Structure 1
Amino acid sequence: MSMHANAGTGISHRTVEELGGEASVLTRQRRDHAEMNRLMDRHQSLPDGPERECTLKQLIQLVFSHAFAEETVLWPAVRRRVTGGEELTAQVEDEHQQINDLTTDIERLRPGDPEREEKIRRVFSLIRQDIRDEEDELLPRLQNAIDTLALRRLGAAWETVRKSAPTHPHPAVPRRPPGNALLGVPLSGYDRLRDALDPSTSAAVSKAKVITVASVLLSAAATIALVRRRWR
């Protein structure tokens, strides 16, 4: 079920300046959403093969790191500052959980399996709906509730968490802090090592990615400490 936003109130056609600048969480969110749409369109245009699978993996990595940052940093701010924020974020979290469950199945099924293709179509539809709900309803309400400086501070926190977030579905991880960070962030190192060692990735790129896992784990530890302080 989608949120019933009023036409013309969303952030999709606003300028970067109107969203609070490049550092604003709204600008960062919209940039990721645009990349998700680009990857979904690309996947749908490609024939079966390694390039199509690579595009899907890139999308999955982006979707899950993005959603984790939302759930850790952004939605708590919406619940604190936006009237009706609890209901709004609960709906988006439900969409995230559906995406999580479907993607878990997609990663278990073989490419070319008709069941897998159907689940991919369903998850793409959910991602597009989630983007609309956020850009047309939830994010505009947040912008109306806080000032530009707060949007930029949220953007910095959001980016920090996103860089140390899991990149694959983990159905048992809760959708809200502090539980999501305490359980999800430690899985980030595993996910990123898994991404780095993917057979489709070149050896040179894999080596470089493996080296960065240590820095991700350090960032993850800092994120856990931050969330613990905030939720004491």
Structure 2
Amino acid sequence: MSKTIKDQTVEELGGSSSILVRQRREHREMDELIDQYLTLDDLQRRERVLKQIVQLVFSHAFAEETVLWPAVRASVPDGEELTARVEQEHQQINDLVADVERLPAGDAGREDKVRRAFALIRQDIRDEEDLLLPRLQDATDTARLRTLGTTWAAVRQTAPTHPHPVVPRRPPGNALLGVPLSVYDRVRDALGIGSIASRRGR
């Protein structure tokens, strides 16, 4: 099996448009934002960073579940088992962040849920980069990795940006619900609904 995608070159991963490179790039962004959140003391700045993390994580995961995991199940011998594990992690993150979004900043249990979600996000990244994506790399040629990357990026741009725990993790259910949820989420983001500022204003 190929080694973790974390340590491979862009060329080894199929070029800049490859799904493997795109995945790793966003994983690193998530990791950096989490580190930033954990070092900040100012509440408003922390909330802005948390909003960035949530938007990135959920649009990223939706594109994975819609485009990438079906490809893994179709091409990797134990793809069903591997993707089921990651989907379970996604569901746990969904549930935790949905709770976080319902709780006011400063709530005693909110920060604990944030940190638990962060730990799961980082575990999910390792499972994907160390186990699942190397298996896809072994089973897929470079042209296919690039096609998957382009499709994933297109879905990612129109994906929901907040947790929706009751939405199915697999197509066609997630794809059918994705369009209206994406519109709802992106209007909500543009208006600042659900942010610390909007909760204080109400």
Range that drifts further, 47-56 or 21-30: 47-56
- Equivalent residue, structure 2, for 1:146: 140
Aligned residue identity for 1:121: R
SS of equivalent residue, structure 2 residue 104:
coil
Aligned residue identity for 1:186: P
Q: Deviations over 1:135-183 (max 9, x none)?
A: 0000000000010000000000000000000000011110000110101
Contact 2:101 2:194 in 1 (8 A): no
Q: CA separation of 1:44/1:182 partners in 2, compared to 1, >3 Å: closer, same or farther? A: same
Uncovered stretches (5+) of structure 2, i.e. residues with no partner: 196-202
Once residues 57 and 91 of structure 1 are traced to their aligned partners in structure 2, the CA distance between those partners, rounded to angstroms, is 26
Question: Paired residue for 1:120, among 109, 114, 123?
Answer: 114
Question: Paired residue for 1:160, among 154, 176, 182?
Answer: 154
Aligned residue identity for 1:113: D
Question: Paired residue for 2:44, among 23, 47, 50?
Answer: 50
- Equivalent residue, structure 2, for 1:102: 96
Q: CA separation of 1:149/1:8 partners in 2, compared to 1, >3 Å: closer, same or farther? A: closer
Contact 1:48 1:112 in 2 (8 A): no
Once residues 113 and 6 of structure 2 are traced to their aligned partners in structure 1, the CA distance between those partners, rounded to angstroms, is 27
Contact 2:5 2:134 in 1 (8 A): yes
- Equivalent residue, structure 1, for 2:24: 30
Contact 1:36 1:59 in 2 (8 A): yes
Q: For CA contacts below 8 A with separation 6 or more, give which structure has more relative contact order.
A: 2
Once residues 50 and 8 of structure 1 are traced to their aligned partners in structure 2, the CA distance between those partners, rounded to angstroms, is 43
Q: CA deviation at 1:62?
A: 0.2
TM-score (norm 1): 0.82
- Equivalent residue, structure 2, for 1:74: 68
TM-score (norm 2): 0.94
Q: CA separation of 1:49/1:200 partners in 2, compared to 1, >3 Å: closer, same or farther? A: farther
Q: CA deviation at 1:184?
A: 2.2
Q: Deviations over 1:106-151 (max 9, x none)?
A: 0000111120000011000000000000000000000000100000
Q: CA deviation at 1:185?
A: 2.3
Aligned residues: 195
Once residues 100 and 60 of structure 1 are traced to their aligned partners in structure 2, the CA distance between those partners, rounded to angstroms, is 10
The within-5 A match list for 1:209-228 is: none
Once residues 69 and 197 of structure 1 are traced to their aligned partners in structure 2, the CA distance between those partners, rounded to angstroms, is 24
Dislocated runs of 4+, deviation >2 Å: none
- Equivalent residue, structure 2, for 1:63: 57
Aligned residue identity for 1:184: G
Question: Paired residue for 1:188, among 163, 175, 182?
Answer: 182
Once residues 200 and 165 of structure 1 are traced to their aligned partners in structure 2, the CA distance between those partners, rounded to angstroms, is 18
- Equivalent residue, structure 1, for 2:81: 87
Range that drifts further, 47-56 or 127-136: 47-56
